[in-house]
Amino acid sequence: MAIRTLETLGDLAGRTVLIRCDFNVPLEDGRITDEGRIVASLPTLRALLEQGAKVVAMSHLGRPKGAPEERYSLAPVAARLGELLGQEVAFATDTVGEDAQRVRIALQDGQLALLENLRFDPRETSKDAGERAELAAELAAGADVFVSDGFGVVHREQASVFEVAQALPSAAGLLVAKELEVLSRLTESPERPYAVVLGGSKVSDKLGVIEHLLPRVDRLVIGGGMLFTFLKALGHDVASSLLEEDQVERVLGYMKQAEELGVQLLLPTDVVVAESFSADAAHETVAADAIGGSRFGAKGIGLDIGPDSAAAFAEAIRTSRTVFWNGPMGVFEMPAFAHGTKAVAQALTEVDGLAVVGGGDSAAAVRGLGFDDAAFGHISTGGGASLEFLEGARLPGLEVLGW
Ligand code: 3PG
Ligand code: MG
């Protein structure tokens, strides 16, 4: 079924629109280090404001535990959003409390307000549907319609994503519609060869994804923190590298399955091993089966794929017609360990076909390494959401919009 789009909500002039955005951006000392998700939200916000709607935006930031915490405040986002839109953004210092009421009542047509972090209220992420519905009703009070535009959270069954869409007439915003259009090209007959490149540090999260993707792809490229669990499964000593010992069996199963399916599984053949986890740590490149034999012995930590691996990965990517990439290859925040990620990003810009970067970390990595957004076919604002979409999972935040 097709998702309900903005037009289905009719004329929004003078109406109060509640919109869920994903403003979960990385912050360092209150400074936004990657504003990609804010920029991605602008087309929908502008479309609503230009129609003369009163717009109340809401989002989460980070994972606070159901109570206010200064470091997770959305105040810096409100300020940046105002600069990008060139108009004032009224900021409510609470989510459904007195200040939120005050801000809503003061809104004029064509004006925008942002509520404080939704996850300061424990009901947002409650396992109890009744509690979530209660918060959703409070959020919906006084609003005429709901627009869901936080693609990064559509895989979450949370009050501001799921229940609120049932409490009001609801539709997808322009960002969600665009993400679906592009990501659907990956799930519905992708041009082949189709390569998926996985990295990042959330090892067990990604292992689940592999299971679902193996039957769909031609090439699966593995880097980042999870590669050591694969090397371990091959019987190699990984010294002090990130390892999920309890996943080794599972990984072996994937290797066998890849072989049966004829999927090309690319693992690194060399690794950059460091003496410690720090930007200026001594380091050397060793063969992937010789990490334990580096000059750092059992202390050695693999922090990036090596140059041979980077070249092989780049070649596999460049010669594919459809590529999806999620997760950095190494600790790209430290220049000494950013080469693998940079090589993969560069190769994605050279794909003759569709190259998609998925996820907050990978998007931040490509921008942080100096690549231009326009060099890629698409940079998804969804991390977990885009992965789950590719897996073909049921996403509550999309289903509730008629998808
Ligand atoms: C993300 O960063 O992937 C989204 O904003 C969702 O955040 P969450 O994983 O904390 O639900
Ligand atoms: Mg996440």
Phi, psi of 272 (to 5 degrees): -90, 115
Question: Which is catalytic among the residues 173, 199, 360, 383?
Answer: 360
152 CB under 6 A from ligand 1?
yes
Which ligand is closest to the CA of 23, given by its number?
1
Q: Which ligand is nearest to the CA of 383?
A: 1
| Cβ of 61 less than 6 Å from ligand 1 | no
- 269-302 tens-digit pLDDT: 999 999 999 999 999 999 999 999 999 999 999 9
> Does the pLDDT at position 203 exceed 80?
no
What confidence score (pLDDT) does residue 1 get? 66
How many Cβ atoms sit within 10 Å of the Cβ of residue 62? 14
Is 330 near ligand 1, meaning CB less than 6 Å away?
Answer: no
**64-78 burial, b for 16+ CB within 10 Å, e for fewer?**
beeeeeeebbbeebb
How far apart CA 31 and CA 336 sit, in angstroms, is 24
CA distance 210 to 251: 9
Distance CA 73, CA 182 (A): 32
In order of 37, 51, 72, 175, 258, the CA distances from 150 in angstroms are 9, 20, 18, 8, 34
Could you report the per-residue pLDDT of 231-273, keeping only the tens digit for each?
A: 999 999 999 999 999 999 999 999 999 999 999 999 999 999 9
* Residue owning the nearest CA to atom 6 of ligand 1: 153
- For the beta sheet containing 378-380, the strands, ordered from the edge strand earlier in sequence to the opposite edge, are 264-266, 219-222, 194-198, 322-326, 354-358, 378-380
Q: Which residue minimizes the CA distance to atom 11 of ligand 1? A: 153
Is residue 24 within 6 Å of ligand 1 at its C-beta? yes
3-state percent helix, strand, coil for the chain, nearest multiple of 5: 45, 15, 40
Return the percentage of the chain with pLDDT > 70, whole number: 100
- The whole-number pLDDT of residue 364 equals 87
CA pair distance 104, 86, nearest whole angstrom: 20
For 326-364, the pLDDT digits (tens) are 999 999 999 999 999 999 999 999 999 999 999 878 888
* Ligand having the closest approach to the CA of 152: 1
Q: Does the annotation count 202 as an active-site position?
A: yes
Higher local confidence (pLDDT), 383 or 281: 281
Residue 358 CB–ligand 1 contact under 6 Å: no
| Percent share of the chain, pLDDT over 90 | 92
CA of 270 to the centre of ligand 1 (A): 32
What is the per-residue pLDDT across 109-152, written as a single tens digit (0 to 9) for each? 999 999 999 999 999 999 999 999 999 999 999 999 999 999 99
Q: Is 119 in the pocket of ligand 1 (CB under 6 A)?
A: no
- For residue 60, give the ligand 1 atom closest to its CA: 5
Q: What is the pLDDT of residue 207?
A: 78
Please give the model's pTM, rounded to 2 decimal places.
0.91
Residue bearing the bigger pLDDT, 173 or 201: 173
The answer to whether 366 and 376 are in contact (CB under 8 A) is yes
Cα of 60 to ligand 1 centre, how many Å?
Answer: 8
Dump the DSSP string for 117-175. -GGGSTTTT-S-HHHHHHHHHHHHTT-SEEEE--GGGTT---IIIIIHHHHS-EEE-HH
Catalytic residue among 202, 250, 318, 321: 202
Q: Which one from 4, 15, 20, 37 is the annotated catalytic residue? A: 37
Binding site membership of 173 for ligand 1 (Cβ less than 6 Å): no
Q: Which two tokens stand for residue 345?
A: 């990003």
Question: In angstroms, what is the span from residue 384 Cα to ligand 2's centroid?
Answer: 5
Which of helix, strand or coil describes residue 77?
helix
pLDDT in the model for residue 209: 85
How large is the C-alpha radius of gyration of the chain? 22
Q: Is 384 in the pocket of ligand 1 (CB under 6 A)?
A: yes
Ligand nearest to the CA of 380: 1
Look up 66 and say whether it is catalytic: no
What's the gap in Å between 153 CA and the centre of ligand 1?
A: 6
For ligand 1, whether the C-beta of 158 sits within 6 Å is: no
Active site residue 360: yes
113 bridge partner residues: 56, 90
For 133-156, b where at least 16 C-beta lie within 10 A, e where not — what string? Answer: bbbbebbbeebbbbbbbbbbbbbb
Which atom in ligand 1 lies closest to the alpha carbon of residue 62? 10
Cβ atoms of 188 and 389 within 8 Å: the answer is no
**How high does pLDDT run on average in the chain?**
96
Probe target for ligand 1 pocket from 58, 59, 60, with the most ligand atoms within 8 Å of CB:
60
20 is catalytic: no
- DSSP letter at 69 equals -
What token pair was written down for 303?
């922090």
State the CB neighbour count (10 A cutoff) for residue 259: 11
